[in-house]
């Protein structure tokens, strides 16, 4: 789906940095990572989008994110609110990032989206304890309020800008067992934003394509380690136009 090889800045989860970088390359984008405030500020000028992932958030990393957001050239910003609601630092960091007014898309699980909306939410670390369907109306309201696209990931994915709404049913359960698949999706969506106009249908299509790649990777899989490599292979070898008819997207 990506044709212009956008350069995407990632201020991301230290646990998944390598997988995110490798996956972006496989999907047709170019990654750049930074962990220094001034380096990140300068990189904004040459990048076409950025993903801010709070999976291993710290006071230092939050300062890096502030610098990215303070650059007037910052664009196509995606927030991955990993574990929002699980700790004060995570919740407050998300609130500050959102308050910048520069976030174009938020991708999280149901518990994280509920937390961002100020509703009661419980998490098991970074895992959701809620089903996607339970927060669809919440996602709609949040999208309208923030004027951005909300992507709720789960067994079923829900994508909304508050007006245009889609459900996606591609993907397989094993994807949730591989550390970093959510992080990759968030960064991938930053690359999609850099490739097309801000369009909810395009985002839904990208989410479905990503899930379908996960389905293809499961064919012949022998275990978690094997699946991770097969998923990376699928991202690098399967073209969108060859499996487009298998996308399971419902417009609501």
* Predicted local confidence at residue 112, as pLDDT: 94
Q: Residue 246 falls within a domain, yes or no?
A: yes
What CATH number is associated with residue 121?
3.40.1190.20
Q: Whole-model pTM?
A: 0.94
The pLDDT score that the predictor gives to residue 229 is 96
Give the per-residue pLDDT at 133: 83
Domain that holds residue 162: 7-251
> In angstroms, what CA-CA distances link 122 with 111, 112, 113, 125?
6, 9, 11, 9
Kindly state whether residue 70 falls inside one of the protein's structural domains. yes
User: Helix or strand or coil: residue 49?
Assistant: strand
**Which 8-state DSSP code applies to residue 157?**
E
User: What is the total residue count of the chain?
Assistant: 252
Q: What is the DSSP letter of 84?
A: B
Q: For position 161, what pLDDT does the model report?
A: 97
The residue to which tokens 């006071």 are assigned:
59
Enter the tokens of residue 111: 């518990």
Residue 157: what pLDDT?
A: 97
Whether 145 is in a domain gets the answer yes
Residue 68 lies in a domain: yes
Kindly list the distances between the CA atom of residue 109 and the CA atoms of 36, 122, 137, 159, 236, in Å, as whole numbers in the listed order.
Answer: 28, 11, 14, 12, 26
Residues 22/12, Cβ–Cβ less than 8 Å: no
The answer to the question of residue 1 being in a domain is no
Mean pLDDT by 10 residues, the chain (252 residues): 94 95 97 97 97 97 98 97 93 96 96 87 54 90 97 96 97 95 98 91 97 96 94 97 96 96
Q: How far is residue 2 from each of residues 194, 202, 206, measured CA to CA in Å?
A: 9, 11, 10
Q: How many domains does the chain have?
A: 1
- Is 21 a domain residue? yes
pLDDT at 129: 54
Nearest CA-CA partner of 116 in 104, 125, 124, 107: 107
Confidence (pLDDT) at 19: 97
Tokens of 13: 């989860």
How confident is the model at residue 119, as a pLDDT? Answer: 79
Rounded Cα gap, residues 131 and 113, in angstroms? 11
Identify whether 2 is part of a domain: no
94, part of any domain: yes
């Amino acid at each position: 789906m990506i044709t212009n090889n956008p350069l995407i800045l990632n201020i991301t989860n230290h646990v998944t940095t390598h997988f995110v970088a490798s996956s972006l390359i496989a999907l047709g984008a170019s990654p750049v990572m930074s962990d220094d405030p001034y380096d990140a500020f300068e990189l904004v000028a040459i990048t076409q989008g950025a993903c801010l992932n709070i999976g291993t958030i710290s006071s230092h990393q939050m300062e890096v994110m502030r610098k990215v957001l303070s650059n007037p050239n910052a664009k196509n910003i995606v927030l991955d609110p990993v574990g929002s609601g699980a700790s004060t630092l995570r919740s407050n960091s998300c609130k500050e990032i959102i308050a910048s007014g520069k976030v174009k898309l938020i991708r999280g699980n149901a518990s994280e989206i509920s937390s961002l909306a100020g509703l009661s939410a419980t998490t098991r670390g970074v895992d959701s304890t809620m089903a996607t369907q339970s927060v669809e109306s919440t996602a709609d309201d949040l999208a309208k309020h923030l004027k951005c696209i909300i992507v709720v990931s789960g067994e079923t994915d829900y994508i909304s800008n508050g007006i245009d709404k889609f459900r996606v049913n591609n993907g397989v359960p094993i994807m949730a067992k591989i550390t970093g698949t959510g992080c990759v999706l968030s960064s991938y969506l930053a690359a999609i934003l850099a490739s097309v106009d801000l369009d909810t249908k395009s985002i839904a299509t990208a989410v479905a394509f990503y899930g379908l790649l996960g389905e293809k990777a499961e064919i012949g899989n022998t275990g978690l380690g094997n699946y991770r490599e097969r998923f990376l292979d699928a991202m690098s070898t399967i073209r969108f136009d060859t499996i487009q008819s298998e996308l399971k997207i419902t417009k609501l």
